[in-house]
Amino acid sequence: MTLDISSNTTDSDAVDSNRPRPSHSDILANAGLSTKSVHAGEPRQKAGGSISAPIVTASTFTFESTDDLLRFVEGHEDRPEYGRYGTPNEKSVEAKLAALDGAEEAILYSSGMAAIVGLLMTKLSAGDEIVFFDQCYHRSREFCAKHLARFGVVTRQVPTGDFAAMEAAINESTKMLVSESPTNPHLTVVDLEKFVAVGKANEVETLIDATLATPFNIRPIEYGVDYVLHSATKYLGGHNDLLAGSICGSKEQLEPVRKLRGILGSVNSSHNLYLLERGLKTFELRMQRHNENGQRIAEFLEAHPRVERVYYPGLASHPTHATAALQMRGFGGLITFTIKDADWKETSRVVDAARIPRIAPSLGGVESLIEQPLVMSYFSCTPEERIRFGIADNMIRMSCGIENAEDLIADLKQALDA
């Protein structure tokens, strides 16, 4: 008997052999987040029969002949050419990120900041203006206000969530509306329906930095936002072991963004992309735990007598809880809280007494992190600037990792009671 290995058709399959089979991409289009993050962008059969994507270390890619090269330069073949323009590892991770956000395309950068810079440098020219909600990552604010200004771009900041002020700040030179949601560190959730409506009414493009939300909790593309930015350093990578960033949106709008990235050169090594891809496979599982830990710890903190105020969009006490409850699936792992009647020194004693969370900047990794914004990110600011940015001396920010909630709560309890 000879074994036919070219087909494993059974009798029951044979009866239905004319039935159209859904393609790999049809199945993925309707799949859940984990199915997408595990399988999207990966050829079913990879080099050497490897189940995981081989790390392609090449900086350049060979052509068999001049004819082969001509086919490529004339646009008949989509294939890697030179590392700065794209690599096989990058391609599969970009496909996963686009699938998670429900976008046509995603572009990877070497960090979240490189992604913001890459997008804004593509879309803005001298004389253009941008309007953005004032609660935001301080380096984004610094890039716009200090550096884009050197190239003749005007930045107008308006209070977060104040759509009337945003409308009033728009004029015929306005090219982009920018916001984070939720914001850092006040966790203000922006109503994406209103944000998009203001953009469309004024024919201005919109950008949401959804790093804190992640595609598990909200997908701004579904609301009509033009560009969604992630610092993949945070929840997408998820292990506090890499830096990366991404922008997703439509193919057409991203085409010039990708071209400029090929010039700016802010790309990832394939080793880094392997780490991101590996992190992404467990993205949904991790987010479920981050959301659960965030909610439970926020509730614990709010009930603790030494805690003055908790900023967490999953709490009814948060000013934007109603919007968060309507638009988000969960509220993430980041919590900001203040200590009652404490100066900066007493506040730092709580930070130092915590045994499980480590003192470090960043968020979104499996390890819980804790910090006092005054001493960490805002140390170089003047007292006036800290008041303007809403950074209080008695403020603590905690990024809940994936440890067990009861252990984190017991640890915070002993730190607060110390």
Considering the complex, state which of residue 140 and residue 327 has its C-beta at the smaller distance from ligand PLP.
140
Q: What is the Cα–Cα distance from 94 to 116, expressed in whole angstroms?
A: 16
Tell me how far, at minimum, the Cβ of 121 lies from ligand PLP, in Å. 15
Tell me how far, at minimum, the Cβ of 376 lies from ligand PLP, in Å. 13
Tell me how far, at minimum, the Cβ of 308 lies from ligand PLP, in Å. 24
Considering the complex, state which of residue 38 and residue 212 has its C-beta at the smaller distance from ligand PLP.
212
Angle subtended at Cα 400 by Cα 102 and Cα 324, rounded to the nearest 5 degrees: 50
Q: Contact 30/90 with Cβ under 8 angstroms?
A: no
Tell me how far, at minimum, the Cβ of 135 lies from ligand PLP, in Å. 10
Tell me how far, at minimum, the Cβ of 113 lies from ligand PLP, in Å. 4
Considering the complex, state which of residue 80 and residue 112 has its C-beta at the smaller distance from ligand PLP.
112
Q: What is the Cα–Cα distance from 114 to 121, expressed in whole angstroms?
A: 10
Residues 6+ apart with CB under 8 A from 418: 349, 350, 353
Q: What are phi and psi of 204, to 5 degrees?
A: -120, 135
Point out the residue whose Cβ comes nearest to ligand PLP: 112
Considering the complex, state which of residue 80 and residue 365 has its C-beta at the smaller distance from ligand PLP.
365
Considering the complex, state which of residue 137 and residue 216 has its C-beta at the smaller distance from ligand PLP.
137
Considering the complex, state which of residue 272 and residue 347 has its C-beta at the smaller distance from ligand PLP.
272
Q: What is the Cα–Cα distance from 234 to 236, expressed in whole angstroms?
A: 6
Q: What is the Cα–Cα distance from 115 to 96, expressed in whole angstroms?
A: 17
Considering the complex, state which of residue 144 and residue 415 has its C-beta at the smaller distance from ligand PLP.
144
The packing angle between helices 88-101 and 270-281, to 10°, is 30
Tell me how far, at minimum, the Cβ of 171 lies from ligand PLP, in Å. 27
User: Which chain residues interact with ligand PLP by CB under 6 A?
Assistant: 111-113, 137, 140, 180, 184, 209, 211-212, 231, 233-234, 243, 245
Q: Which residues pair with 351 in a beta bridge?
A: none
Tell me how far, at minimum, the Cβ of 276 lies from ligand PLP, in Å. 11
Residues 6+ apart with CB under 8 A from 413: 300, 304
Task: Of 218, 219, 216, 255, give the one whose Cα is nearest residue 236.
Answer: 216
Q: What are phi and psi of 336, to 5 degrees?
A: -115, 135
